[in-house]
Chains A and B, each alone.
Chain A
């Protein structure tokens, strides 16, 4: 049943006895048209768009733990489309457009809040680079605004503009960027997919793939084999390990990215702010906590915890632009596993095994991509062809020399 103001009113009059569980907990059937491995943001949005856009509902989402127990529940919730390269920017702009209509579309309050994203610049060359980036954003229909120092002062008067080392000269402002309630994204997509007939099966770890003569015909799970015409893997953080079960070696390394939340403070930040001379990004949650993060730890890791040098680096970045946060106490911090790809960009592609599809390599930026990732992955699964905006996100781009090297760092996953 759909959520609405009328529904809340009616339930309040009838003792709130009409609310039902948001999704079913079905037993797995022996076979499906499509199996999606991974019940996180990308897997659930793929299932949702398969049902909604393509009418394919004989679909199962297999999750080893509980829904949204991976990176969709442990990120810094920022959405934006301020990329530059043609292989990336149109995709992220599609994602932002989907974010804008998401809550009405899946009838769930995901608290999409377009409070704006501000990237600070600290020198003339950096301004020129941001002008170039802004122009690239405009080509895809995004909304960059180049602010000078006065413009940033009006927006964020509390920043350390006259910092001796990194004075703030201005910023690239994307008003349509913002933040989203991350867990609600997983729940909203799960509910939307479930209502259209998709089976969401939790506590069902995939232990292997049923591969016969180079064709994938299903998966082995902790609850027995399940057959399918196509198997789609979206398990960011564990991509290398899951795909190794199919004998595929990916251009990905696993790294740990930390995130931090301060104690609750009165409203102080208007939107998302990023430091241009180091790596630090911060926003303020509706509860008042400053949510911030920075670089990955920089070495291969499967430990869901980070080390102190990265913490120090993040906090130095924060203090450089906002000395006032030095008095805020840290409430909690955590680390999550991210797929760092060799060129810093993602994959939505078929694999060398027929019927086995792969979505991953989102580095530390997978959350903002959630809607478009599912949209384009569903398009690939349903039609057999890449969606136009995801056409360059191919696994064989290293062989063809068509890297999407947004940062220009080369094949060094720890530097992207």
Chain B
């Protein structure tokens, strides 16, 4: 599987470390702390089909990137840096 890194181009999957499906974490001072955090940390986000997920280009540019990959075909349809502030306008 080749992963398109926005900085380095298509690179072998072996250069990357998996960061899991991208999940929105609750507010640190949110009201429903326990339940929201338990769901965020322990409930698997496990769709069959496209999933947005994080990879770390460990043996490359050391960027965290966010891609949309189909979990059945491994087709990658979108790739960008994970940190929105680092993305180009």
Contacts and interface: CB of A to CB of B under 8 A. Distances in A.
A365 interface: no
B42 A251 contact: yes
A249 B1 CA distance: 29
B74 A303 contact: yes
A299 B41 CA distance: 17
Nearest to A240: B46
Contact of A300 (B12, B14, B42, B71): B71
Contact of B71 (A249, A254, A308, A309): A254
A307 B1 contact: yes
Contacts of A251: 42-44
Contacts of B73: 303
Contact of A302 (B20, B38, B41, B72): B72
A349 B20 CA distance: 26
Given A254-B71, A300-B53, A312-B14, A398 B46 contact: no
A412 interface: yes
A308 B15 CA distance: 12
Contacts of A249: 39, 43-44
A240 B44 contact: yes
B18 A299 contact: yes
Nearest to A239: B46
Contact of A299 (B38, B46, B48, B53): B53
Contacts of B46: 240-241, 250, 252-254, 300
Nearest to A254: B46
A266 interface: no
Contacts of B53: 299-300
Interface size bucket, B side? Answer: 20 to 34
B44 A250 contact: yes
A301 B44 CA distance: 13
Contacts of B72: 302-303
**Candidate in A254, A299, A412 with the most chain B CB atoms within 10 angstroms:** A299
Given A300-B51, A302-B72, A307-B1, A399 B38 contact: yes
Contact of A241 (B1, B38, B48): B48
A309 B1 CA distance: 9
Interface in A153-200: none
Contacts of B14: 308-309, 312
Nearest to B49: A302
Contact of A252 (B13, B38, B44): B44
A251 B39 CA distance: 9
Interface in A259-278: none
11 contacts: A251-B43, A251-B44, A252-B44, A252-B46, A253-B44, A299-B18, A300-B51, A302-B71, A303-B73, A411-B41, A413-B44
Given A249-B43, A251-B42, 7 more contacts: A251-B44, A254-B48, A301-B71, A302-B48, A303-B72, A307-B74, A414-B20
